[in-house]
Structure 1
């Protein structure tokens, strides 16, 4: 791991977290002595050990905030590594943008079935997603379709389509009003366009906690947003890569990648559908910045963390509202 100021800060914060939670044993020893922690504090220590091991192996810089739910009180902080650094969040901030759009739906200013025009001019050429592939413009889709492509295949054109119904300055004002002043899109000359902007690991974590806690959006919008983040087509290269279909259905996640950054944030649910672990894992500075696939060191690290995070909380009850976990049902046409 390259030891620079950002890495040193992260290691220092992890040491502080270790003091609060108790000294973490080496990963192999911890895994051998307790296969399935039975208390939030023990689960949090296990998660901290797993994060420390795999982030160190990947190298680079890690900014992270992870907590384990405690039904009896405040969530137990497991990882707090440079958690208040305001950094480029890239597509992880699509959760925040979707929150602003759905806030307008909740207030009756937009509807999921209203049409959004897709012109050739608005399509991002060569961008991630599907709108740049179909080649048939102009066309129109529903706002629900826009949000679905925005959060599952992380479509770049959907960034612009969201801006048509919720201008950049409005996105920022909604997020500030909800208590997220560091989670902001970057304004450009066109008021309906923006770069995805910044957040901190702590604010991204707290936004997700507010979402599952039911204080961010209406019940209908909350269920809708979590359904997109938890769907089988959503990001699978990181936390969910080596999980079964049923295990993947217990994870709501969103990744972001650009330049040398590889981020991911989300929620793990217990078997009843209550949130049990919330994570914001921001990474940059690893080797192979030109690799946007599953072989990037930070993405491989998260793929290794995911099943171990799930195992660490598998005997811990989540807290708050439960959200039905629907097993995927593949179709053969017909």
Structure 2
């Protein structure tokens, strides 16, 4: 019990006004606050229960966790989890959102268009990496920037990163992100100025970047809609937060995962049924067992799946705040 209370302090639960009541005299000491009904609860109590669910699942998965999670409210976001939130770490493919933001910033400024074509050569393809370009086998070919971004943010295509570098070099990506207020969210340049490793971020900066995106202060309305449409699409990442959800629920979650070696990260936004942002999360994890398991059975990925389902249930009936982002209707096709 002492460990759980100490870790609760580390999670930053003191930032939630009623956290002490939720975990103290408001219910029996032996009760699990995440298992009680949430009907009629105020946002402070829901926020505390989201934090308790995170504590339980991250402890169960083990390893190291760095996270920052908030629940929107009428007076601004309630911070529900803050664990090593300002630790600068390798973000891996979660930073593909930041790369897309830099490219779309150039589109917004009229320096680039989505139908601009880039050449896919055999030399630029990442062999064996995630995505579809490495599976194609027919090069050289031409694709548009829009096609590149679609693959970057849905199937997390690694070659798409290099293609983005052709239109937005590493130094420019970093300059754009610094100008937008994200000095720790940076790609790592290499000798070739058009190539880079995906670099670093912090849980707080990744969270704040997502908040700025849904708040409409990061990109134009058109570019914002494009990013969210891709991150909420049925082909976006489904093994983590969205795994235990219906198709309608998944469409309410914009999410991006990143993985390399023993790290398993995910960040995104859960929207209410009207399309207003409700929960914003950045969950970074490493050091768990199963470094060679990049599937849904990895402990950290399983933890995010259980946490995502719990958060969806806890926030049922709650409304978000801020600009709404409509869900694009999913229409399966049988060809023809």
Give TM-score scaled by structure 2 length: 0.93
The reply on whether 1:34 has 2:29 as its aligned counterpart is: no
- Give, in whole Å, the separation in 1 of the partners of 2:305 and 2:92: 19
Residue from 49, 52, 55 that aligns with 1:49: 52
Residue from 193, 204, 207 that aligns with 2:206: 204
Could you say what the CA RMSD is over the residues aligned between the two structures, in angstroms?
Answer: 2.0
Conserved? CA contact 1:245–1:327, under 8 Å: no
Moved more, 196-205 or 41-50: 41-50
The reply on whether 1:87 has 2:89 as its aligned counterpart is: yes
- Give, in whole Å, the separation in 2 of the partners of 1:184 and 1:254: 17
- Give, in whole Å, the separation in 2 of the partners of 1:75 and 1:129: 35
Residue from 246, 249, 260 that aligns with 1:247: 249
- Give, in whole Å, the separation in 1 of the partners of 2:48 and 2:303: 18
SS of residue matched to 1:137: coil
- Give, in whole Å, the separation in 2 of the partners of 1:195 and 1:83: 22
Query: What does the per-residue CA deviation read over 1:168-222, in whole Å, with 9 as the maximum and x for residues that have no partner?
Result: 0000000000000000000100000000000000000000000000000000000
Conserved? CA contact 1:37–1:43, under 8 Å: no
Residue from 213, 216, 228 that aligns with 1:214: 216
In the TM superposition, residue 16 of structure 1 has moved relative to its aligned partner by 4.8
Conserved? CA contact 1:276–1:317, under 8 Å: yes
- Give, in whole Å, the separation in 2 of the partners of 1:13 and 1:216: 30
Question: 2:110 — aligned with what?
Answer: 108
- Give, in whole Å, the separation in 2 of the partners of 1:216 and 1:96: 11
- Give, in whole Å, the separation in 2 of the partners of 1:256 and 1:50: 22
Residue from 97, 100, 106 that aligns with 1:98: 100
Q: Which runs of 4+ in 1 moved over 3 A?
A: 8-12, 15-21, 23-28, 35-38
- Give, in whole Å, the separation in 1 of the partners of 2:123 and 2:207: 35
The reply on whether 1:59 has 2:59 as its aligned counterpart is: no
The reply on whether 1:333 has 2:335 as its aligned counterpart is: yes
- Give, in whole Å, the separation in 2 of the partners of 1:208 and 1:88: 17
Question: 2:196 — aligned with what?
Answer: 194
Q: For residues 1-334 of structure 1, what are the structure 2 equivalents within 5 Å?
A: 12-14=9-11, 16-17=13-14, 20-23=17-20, 25=23, 29-36=32-39, 38-70=41-73, 72-334=74-336
Moved more, 44-53 or 319-328: 319-328
After superposition, the Cα gap between the structure-2 partners of 1:254 and 1:332, relative to the gap in structure 1 and judged at 3 Å, is same
Q: Which runs of 5+ in 1 are unaligned?
A: none
SS of residue matched to 2:96: helix
Q: What count of residue pairs does the alignment treat as equivalent?
A: 328
Q: Which runs of 5+ in 2 are unaligned?
A: 24-28
In the TM superposition, residue 37 of structure 1 has moved relative to its aligned partner by 5.6
SS of residue matched to 1:195: strand
After superposition, the Cα gap between the structure-2 partners of 1:90 and 1:164, relative to the gap in structure 1 and judged at 3 Å, is same
SS of residue matched to 2:266: strand
Which structure has more RCO (C-alpha within 8 Å, separation ≥ 6)? 1
SS of residue matched to 2:115: coil
- Give, in whole Å, the separation in 1 of the partners of 2:289 and 2:6: 20
In the TM superposition, residue 315 of structure 1 has moved relative to its aligned partner by 1.8
